[in-house]
Structure formats: C-alpha cells, structure tokens
Amino acid sequence: MRLLLRLCVVTFLLALSAVLARAGTFGGVDFMTATVMQKHQSSFSGLSLRARLTSAQIVEGFELQPFVEYWRTSTTVDPPNVTVSRKDATLGAGIVYHFHHTGWQPYVGGGLGVHFLSNKVNAPQLGLDDESDSVIRGGLYALGGVAVPLSDHVRNFLELEYHHLPDVSQLKLNMGITWRP
C-alpha cells in the first residue's frame, strides 16, 4: 500500500512539473486553513497548499489549480479507553474562473481529487488493538469564493468547497492568503 502511495505521489509530481512547464505563467500560490465538515462527523481543521497557473492558451479569467490538502482528527473515549483517528491526504487539480470585478473578486471552479483516507481504532477492552484501514478514492469537487486584495501581490480569500465521495463527502470552509508575483 505504501509503495502504491509513493508511486501516486511521484506520478502526480511528474504530471505537475509537466503542466508547470507548459503553462508558461506561474500565477501565484495559496496557503489556507480549512474547517472540514465530513458526513456523520463533527468539524475539524485541515491545511492546504495550491498553485495558480495561467497561460495564453487558457481563456482569460481561467486558472489551472493543482493542490494538496491534509487533515487529521482523533477522539478518545475514557472509559472504555477507545481511541479513533481518521486522516485524509488529497492530491488534485481543477479549473477556476475569476469574474471580472473591481476590488473584491468572486470565483467558481471544480475539478478532481484523489483522497488517501485512513482510519485507525485502538480499543483493547473491545478486542481491537491498533486496527487500521486505508482506502484511495477519487471524487469530484466544486468551490466558490471571493478574493479581497490587500496589496499588489497579496490577497485574502474565503471559499466554500465540496468534495463528493461516496459515504465520506466533505464540505470545507477555507480561508487563506494568496501571493501573486
């Protein structure tokens, strides 16, 4: 399983470098934090990094946005000394359209993501000693948000993002900062 994960990461990085070379223009990078609301779960926090790529070959207003996201949540119940953890590392890419607007700038987009989901349960009194399960799932995502310029090179943004995965769909409220050259 770990070999498969490593092969997927290497494949993603090679594809990303090819896209970067062809895109021609690096449009910036986003750093963000997310409040993740997963089906049948309470909310928790995650982190994300996203590149912004533009090109003369892409229609004006559109950007290609490869990204990586990660979140982890853990709960312990005493007694009976049960610990449950769940995590998700996501690699993906999408297309985002920025509406032309003076000042703040609304945008919408969507794409595909590959989720590396992992669950772990430790409940010795129930006969479960460090049981774990991992699965890789692909899914569509959609997002919409607004960016507010702070300077010529820096913007704040707030967005709502939905990842459609069977049984583990995720709704995220993202906020972060964009740096543009």
Domain boundaries, the chain: 2-179
Q: 3.90.1150.10, 2.40.30.170, 1.10.15.40, 2.40.160.20: which CATH number matches 2-179?
A: 2.40.160.20
Instruction: Using alpha carbons, select from 34, 74, 73, 72 the residue that is nearest to residue 50.
Output: 34
pTM: 0.80
Predicted confidence at residue 176, as pLDDT, reads 96
With a pLDDT cut of 90, the percent of the chain lying above it is 52
Structure confidence by residue, pLDDT tens digits, 78-137: 888 888 898 999 999 999 999 987 889 999 999 999 999 999 998 888 888 888 899 999
pLDDT-derived band at 3, boundaries 50, 70, 90: low
